[in-house]
Amino acid sequence: MFDLNPYLAQKQALINGFLLNALQSEPADSRIVQAMTYSLMAGGKRLRPVLCLAASEAVGGSAESLLGVAAAIEMIHTYSLIHDDLPAMDDDRLRRGKPTCHVQFDEATAILAGDALVTLAFQMLSIVTGQTPPQRQLEVIRIVSQAAGYQGMIGGQMMDMESEGKPLTLEELKRLQAMKTGALIEASTRTGAILGGGTPDQIQRLEVYARNIGLAFQVRDDILNIEGDPEIMGKATGTDGDRKKSTFPSRIGLNESKTYAENLVHDALHALEVFDNKADPLRGIAHYIIDRKK
Amino acid sequence: MFDLNPYLAQKQALINGFLLNALQSEPADSRIVQAMTYSLMAGGKRLRPVLCLAASEAVGGSAESLLGVAAAIEMIHTYSLIHDDLPAMDDDRLRRGKPTCHVQFDEATAILAGDALVTLAFQMLSIVTGQTPPQRQLEVIRIVSQAAGYQGMIGGQMMDMESEGKPLTLEELKRLQAMKTGALIEASTRTGAILGGGTPDQIQRLEVYARNIGLAFQVRDDILNIEGDPEIMGKATGTDGDRKKSTFPSRIGLNESKTYAENLVHDALHALEVFDNKADPLRGIAHYIIDRKK
């Protein structure tokens, strides 16, 4: 039986080491680097970079050679959290149990730290290591930038802002979440599969896997916002209801949402059936996504 | 005698056409695309993309094949203006004679429109056209991301925010401006020179040219903030004094600043001496930078 926890711990340590190293080239007294480091090292789950590494391993590729790409994806994720937390956006003061970036520093620094992280991410993706053909590296930049952009993550956040107080249909909600959360999760998995040398069929199956766990992740997030423990989660709960946000529980009910998340994970696991035990970490992550308490 | 105006008009038309086209893939009722288009098409001088095209031509390369790169650089410049204008940053309400993005739309939309433009820029830089070897394309992404990042433009804006009310030495002021304005101007010229097929010596000379006109551009900006016509400039003047910002006139005096800008342009032109008349547009731009009224 595969045990996900040591796998996650080992990969998180690799990713954290790489991220810290990437920011250590600058004098530590630089306020912008302090803010970037603060948010980047605030104890995230590293779901996206782990997915990238695990997808590579699932198709027989290495994890270590992808650390730069995985770290870049985590930088993009962190930048999106910093900007989403801003007063003009979701106005969140707590994230991962710590003051959000604009609370710890100030608004201007938070905006610039986010800007700096997304830019550094693309700088890292452009570094030629000799391990990847340049065409493939350009393809990775294209995939990640598209997923992060206005047709993906940013477009989803925009829809989310515009829909506050306006009920969405279930289809609109799925589309919003596919853009806001799903796009970068899919991109993480897909780039891992491509860089790991996956066949077109393997890449396509891993995309199906990622699409399903990405949506399950968001459904679980909505459930945790209702019945999660704020202490474990490190952030306030009940906020979706306060903001009258459309969520899966508000659309289809709490119990239906749980069943829906389970079905999505079932579909994700089904897409992995042709893979051998090298895909066990991906299977473990799929289970983790609906079992997690934070 | 070379006439810069028709050259500028022709290049600006090419760039504007390309930019509009890049944003037309999406439904026009999308608020984020509206905000991106609003700021991108607000009538900028297109200095950076024109420099990119002109540098390519100066080394015997084409301009048209570089339009994607030039447009991406203008997107990065526009995103930086949108974010710098935000209430938490410079709190400017007027830009290029029009309400700034957050005034015309709202703060959240302005933050996201900026985020979307920088991300779209890297997406455009990653598109494989077949006209450029992939390694060289990756090099361009690396140059542009580094110039735009915390070691360049963003770091300069951070220094600028931190220095308000604190007088800088002339050397600190030069370093700030080299990062805030100079880095992207240099990157524009350098990528043009590289993609145009310049020799190492040509590329190095064009870097010297760019470094000098970049600084001259900022000195002229500071001068215009004192004696410019707000109607011609489309934005308020006298703001640097109000904010007690360190500027070249506040450091070395108004007349010394004018002489300094002229010396910088002289050095820029000197770096172009080995080039033939294909570098005339670059020479014209150097003169334009200290003659401009806006």
pLDDT confidence of residue B228: 87
The pLDDT, as a whole number, for residue A26 is: 66
What's chain B's average pLDDT?
94
Q: What are the CA-CA distances from residue A33 to residues A40, A75, A101, A113, B162 (Å)?
A: 10, 13, 12, 8, 14
Helix (H) or strand (E) holding B99: strand B98-99
Residue B134 in contact with partner chain A when CB distance is under 8 A? yes
In the three-class reduction of DSSP (H, G, I as helix; E, B as strand; rest coil), residue B29 is classed as: coil
Q: Are B94 and B234 in contact (CB under 8 A)?
A: yes
pLDDT-derived band at B122, boundaries 50, 70, 90: very high
Helix (H, G, I), strand (E, B) or coil at A90: coil
Task: Provide, as residue numbers in chain A, all residues whose Cβ is less than 8 Å from the Cβ of B86.
Answer: 108, 111
Rounded to whole angstroms, the Cα distance separating A204 from A190 reads 8
- What residues of chain B lie within 8 A of the CB of A128, using their CB? 135, 138-139
> B51-88: b or e for each residue (b if 16 or more CB lie within 10 Å)?
bbbbbbbbbebebeebbbbbbbbbbbbbbbbbbbbbbb
**For residue B15, what pLDDT is reported?**
97
Do residues B159 and A112 make contact, with C-beta atoms less than 8 angstroms apart? no
Beta bridge partners of A94: A99
Helices of type H across B179-229: 183-195, 200-227
- Relative orientation angle of helices B4-22 and B47-58, to the nearest 10 degrees: 110
- In a 3-state reduction of DSSP, which class is residue A152? coil
Find which of B154, B161, B166 to mutate to test the A interface (most A CBs within 10 Å of its CB).
B154
pTM of the model: 0.95
H or E, element range at A67 = helix A67-84
- The one-letter code for the residue type at A256 is E
Count CB neighbours of B293 within 10 A: 9
Contacts of A118 in chain B (CB under 8 A): 115, 118-119
pLDDT tens track for A133-146 = 999 999 999 999 99
Q: How far apart are the first and last CA of chain A?
A: 24
pLDDT(A81) > 90: yes
> Which residue shows structure tokens 């933050």?
B111
Mean pLDDT across B82-99 = 92
Instruction: Give the distance from residue A240's alpha carbon to the nearest chain B alpha carbon, in angstroms.
Output: 18
What is the full DSSP assignment across A253-277? -HHHHHHHHHHHHHHHHHHTTTS-G
Residue A237: count other Cβ atoms within 10 Å of its Cβ. 15
| A226: its two tokens | 């209702």
Work out the minimum CA distance from B161 to partner chain A, whole angstroms.
8
Angle between helices B4-22 and B67-84 (to 10 degrees): 80
The domains located in chain A, with CATH, are 4-291 (1.10.600.10)
Cβ contact A127:A68 at 8 Å: yes
Spatial CA neighbour of B174 closest among B211, B226, B225, B227? B211
pLDDT, one tens digit per residue, over A20-38 is 999 886 666 689 999 999 9
pLDDT in tens, A206-251: 999 999 999 999 999 999 999 988 888 877 788 888 878 889 999 9
Strand partners, A98: A95
How many CB atoms are located within 10 Å of the residue B292 CB? Answer: 16
Residues 6 or more apart whose CB falls under 8 angstroms from that of B272 comprise: B58, B205, B209, B279, B282, B283, B286
Q: What is the residue whose two structure tokens read 């300069």?
A: B156
Calpha distance B208→B60 (Å, rounded): 19
Confidence tier at B263 by pLDDT (50, 70, 90):
very high
Inter-chain touch B26–A83, beta carbons under 8 Å: no
In Å, how far from its chain's centre is CA B263? 21
Give the per-residue SS3 of A39-62. HHCCCCCCHHHHHHHHHHHHCCCC
Chain A residues within 8 A of B89 when measuring between CB atoms: 108, 111
Interface of B with A in 23-52 (CB under 8 A): 26, 30-33, 36
Torsion-angle region of B262 (φ positive above 0: left; ψ -120 to 50: alpha; else: beta): alpha
Select from B26, B88, B137 the Cβ nearest to the Cβ of A111: B88
Mean pLDDT of B178-183: 96
Taking alpha carbons only, the member of B183, B135, B180, B173 closest to residue B154 is B180
Distance CA A14, CA B30 (A): 40
Q: What is the interface pTM, i.e. ipTM, of the complex?
A: 0.95
Q: Compute the radius of gyration of chain A from its Cα atoms.
A: 18
Query: For B15-61, what is each residue's pLDDT tens digit?
Result: 999 999 998 866 666 899 999 999 999 988 999 999 999 999 999 99
Q: Is the pLDDT of residue B67 over 80?
A: yes
Cβ-defined contact of B125 to A106 (cutoff 8 Å) = no
Closest of A95, A83, A180, A191 to residue A140, by C-alpha: A191
CB B18 within 8 A of CB B68: yes
CA distance A288 to A285: 5
Tracing tokens 């595969």 back to the chain, one arrives at: A2
Q: What is the pLDDT of residue B36?
A: 96
Closest Cα of chain B to A112: distance in Å?
6
Distance CA B243, CA B250 (A): 12
**Predicted local confidence at residue B49, as pLDDT:** 98
